[in-house]
A and B are shown apart, each in its own frame.
Chain A
Amino acid sequence: MTQSERESKSFCKAMFAGNIAQDVISPFPEMDAEEKENLNLILTSLRQFAKDNVDSAEIDRSGEIPKEVLEGMAEMGLFGMSIPEAYGGYGFSVTAYNRVFEEVAAIDASLAVTFGAHQSIGLKALILHGTEEQKKKFLPQLASGEKFAAFALTEPGAGSDAAGIKTTAVKNGDHYILNGNKIWITNGGFAHFFTVFAKTEMENGEQKITAFAVTRDMEGFSSGKEEEKLGIHGSSTTEINFDNIKVPAENVIGPLGKGFKVAMEVLNSGRLGLAAGCLGGVKKLLQMSAEHAKNRQQFNTPIAKFEMIQEKITAMAVDAFALESMVYMTTGLVDRGDVDYSIESAVCKVYASEAIWRAIDHGMQVAGGIGYSKEYSYERALRDARINLIFEGANEILRSFIALSGMQEHGEYLKTVGKALKNPLSELGVITDFAIHRIKSYVSSDRFDDVHDSLSSEVGKYEEYVKELHSCVEKALTKYRKDIIHQGFILERIADMTIDLFGMAAVISRLDGMLKAGNPTKVKRELTLGKLFCEEAWRRIRRNSRQVTNNADNLRREVANDVYEFNGYNLDLMG
């Protein structure tokens, strides 16, 4: 399989063309038995370690993760899980790494953010694109946890518009002179190794982004004071500055001028970690809420019995099940290695970050007054969870990415819409990796075949709404043509349809595998959760699809414009 064929094999992109690439998602990915056994041992050990050593309330209060906690995790080998064995790590699959990450996040959000900034994104570029020398030089110390890594892309003027970075690296003999500054750098206060993105001049004079390996001990490197944040208090977030740093030319990671692609690849995989972390949080909140609901009595009845409480508990459980299916479906795709999972990982990130936000909202409501008290952990969870909707690609930019990347692959329409769509995201300056490839290398049809009979109604709805997505995309592209990139209201609906459809596909694939593998009575709980998710998902999809053509968007635009014009509400009933 060629590189382009590999990249063009994408389940979600196929859905935009009305196709169901069943060979990509079915059977549901399964971990090999030996890795599963090792993973369970790691999880047991990690849980015990956390129980004995991690005090999240104290981490939140003090704003620091105790040195002993990081040292203990380092000793367990957790910081090198995903690093290949040849460089001092353990070479676990992406699925196993993310399952551990899920657990770390359930233990403590600050710890998860620190862990993820190091391993999900900080050192990832080295693994994906580092030279043999770079890997040998940097990875062993990062694997042992002796040193930490960080990922440095964001700048004051370049957040979602990552292509707009101003940091420069100017070639000077056998090195580059690096100047600029980066903000919101997780692990910025103590990391030793930084994957830094800077503009370099190409032979043709063009300014392109290149990735560099930068270390704290380089002259001219400095980091700023710790940011005071709403949550994840134990994690380090600082500015970092480069003042005429001499970076050896051999520290360029990946091809010169291809740093944007490197960054996007790293973030595609990093977003999955974030999604797995949110899953850990949702599961933990669900456990806390269920326990509270069963124990709290009002009107001589445990509040668990009241249906308005059950509605919240159910919503959290359904989210956990769907998210778990989506995340581990996608990590399975990454491990499989021959598919493009960029849309899927963005889908997971958006769904996950919103699921944990819904979960904390429900959890706090179930808890009532105590949820609002600092004595309990709900308020900390609320503060910790909010960042997930913002970092590693704000959900708005990721929704644009999901919708526009999917449309790019919309083969026949590309021809009619013309060249403008070939690179739509660059006009938005969106951080994305958007190689243009036609869908051709996989078996696809508009049917989800040979699925267990118990799922026939869900499969029917799924097939119906994949067609509907295709039809919505056609309508939108016919109407807006290249201006589609500015139609945020429409893009959001198409992205939300994609998210729910991928959720349905992942849930159906998971349930189908379980039903075929064994005794259907043992799958009862999963089947109920999955069916409920599908039921709710297709209703959301139907609503979104109707609103692609029939909506109140003009009124929305008008309201927004009025508010901007009057700098706020500016109406007074009594005035």
Chain B
Amino acid sequence: MKFTLSWLRAHLDTDASVAAIGEALTRIGLELEGVSDRGATLAPFRIAHVVEAVQHPNADRLRACRVDTGAGIVSVVCGAPNAHTGMKAVFAPPGSFIPGTGITLKTGEIRGVTSAGMLLSAREMGLGDDHSGIIELPADAPVGTPYAAWAGLDDPVIEIAVTPNRGDCFSVRGVARDLAAAGIGTLKPWAPAPVPAAFAAGPRWRIDWPEACPWILGRTIRGLRNGPSPRWLADRLTAIGLRPINALVDVTNLFTVDLGRPLHVFDVAKLSGDTLVLRRGAGETFRALNGKDYAVTAEDCVIADAAGVQSMAGIVGGEATGCDETTTAVFVECACFDPVRVALSGRRHQVVSDARQRFERGIDPALMPDAVEAATRLILELCGGEAGTVTAAGAPPAWQRDATMRFARLAAFGGAEVPADEAVGALERLGFVVRTRDAAQVTVAVPPWRNDVAALGGPALDQDPALDPAVAARAAEGCALAEPECDLIEEVLRLRGLDTIPAVSLPYAAPVPLPTLTDAQARAARARRVLAAQGLAECVTFSFMAAREAAVFGPTPEALRLANPIAADLDQLRPSPVATLALAAAGNAARGLPDLALFEVGPAFASEGQHLVAAGLRAGATPRNWLAPSRPVDAMDAKADLFEALAALAVPMESLSVTADAPGFYHPGQSGVVRQGPKLVLGRFGALHPSVLGAIGLAGAAAAFELFLDAIPTPKRRRRAPPDLPPFQPVRRDFAFLVDAAVPAETVLRAARGAERSLIAGVALFDRYEGGTVPEGKRSLGIEVTFQPRDHTLAEAELEAAAGKVVAAVAKAAGGVLR
């Protein structure tokens, strides 16, 4: 919302500076977006009379001038070819800053002649590129007057952001009213005198859809002459970025901004029939004033004459009945439209207009008769003619209501000790009228322009249907009382300034705060740190991606497709963070950085809901180093990352098993699913499938893992058993078993571990060998078994017996044969 300072002053009697006004606007919630003030830089320049301009005695191209600045005659040397005796010009006194040259003027002497100032060109004032000579003003320009004021350039343009609740401040008068209430100046009275009717003929209204348009006024003015607006009106509109069109249209735009009162003008000669009907659209197409065609639906309120739709009510008028230079009779529309229907229609047709902006926030219904009179008066003044009777349809909507505020609530809710008189005074300055008041509370009538306060017929509560009806009813009853009071408290505090409310630190809920994170949240945080400590870099990637690429990584149900994606490659919620990490790795590879390790703790999306996943991806090769040769990353890297994280989350590692049924984006022969028990899946890992690498454009190796954080059971809080610390040295024996290649290593290890539970403290696989002397379809597994004696040093025979149990157990469970 833009307006000029002079426009504001048409409603507000104030001598406050623009800075003070801007500060107040921001404080009371009408945030200052900016001020453009050309006048400030032009302030030192005044209109002067060149009394005499003669050839400089010592310079061919200069003139010696005697200049009347209004404050005396001074000598000025001027180089402009057009400087001549008797002209009116713009004078810059010594000490003034010249915007066009960046120089601050000093009194000087030029070739023996004193020069105490400067006569300015347009370019020197920063007003354009003309530097062919100094500016010559009309003969009647008043000497001594500031040039900017005379030229109308000293009117700063103020722009504010109006919040959606303050439709009343989409008007200069509304802003003036708020400023006056905040102590900046006094609101000027505004009461247009009625214009008597000279005739009764003209179009009539008929409302067929009263819910969309409860009340509408109109008035015909005939015998007028339309043409360009006078300069004051054109200047006002130009200053705020509106293009002057013709007087009739400009009048409607003026009132839209001045009073927040959108008007529309129909050219009477272009209307068909004598009745304008407010009704639902019926699929017709009409061409609007913006040159576009709109097909109106039954949900759009339109204004139609005998020929069809001529306007989309409250949003945009029609081209066919618009006013131009040939218009001699006009029908002025001043309506009250339903804000919700205007908002929905405007959104449906994607029309943003000054009228829609105001109607959808709600206009002041009580202002309508006065607005018609004021518009009529201005049209007669600008275009001549005579006015007919005011024609109406429908009835004024009931806007009258009261609101009550208990003074104690200003402190108990608002945190501010505000004297009752100050609170009531603030409300009165905003236009609220006191109905009753006692020591404890005040009841006020809400002014018609404040549809945000104690909103009438606003949206009903939208309570959770699962609530206990009694609870819901009590809450609704409390809301009905609390809401208007909150509205009034807000007004009082807003005008006072929220900075005046003392800040109070939150009282302790407990002397030592309780844990901030739940166990699950703490696990996610720990997984993040452990993975980062493993050398993976944490990423935050988008939750959505291209459906085609997402499909590579899992199901992409329709229900997780965006209806309005911002780009075609961001239209599907990802089935796994591995998908977006793979894209991130491909992006880095494209930048020449193919070797990296990334992870993310974020959501994966599925039809049944989202779950939190700690996912990681290693790509390319390990670093080249003279001590450790580089090698491609592989599934075991991913498994190590996953198991490190699982261990850090206090998962009982000995209870985990790995099955070879990972989903298809993993390499079918180099991947696994990590399970706790038969059903609970905690994670997956593996090399990425070669076709996946191809699909995302990743050239090197890549291995990924997923840790399903939501599946990790919360460990039971148990006191730990005392540690097992036998005093006898452990004995280690190596075994090499020949087993079928298909037998999982885990089977061998588990069998060996369980062969003699009281004695065997650990089993580790140290070798795996295929080919060579090992028969086809077999492999050799080398395991180291640690025997831990508990009460005596083991005799060789005992050790042999235990070793025999290991061999027997592996033979039984895995068909292993000692090599």
Is the A/B pair a real complex?
Answer: no
Which A residues have a C-beta under 8 Å from some C-beta of B? Answer: none
Which B residues have a C-beta under 8 Å from some C-beta of A? Answer: none
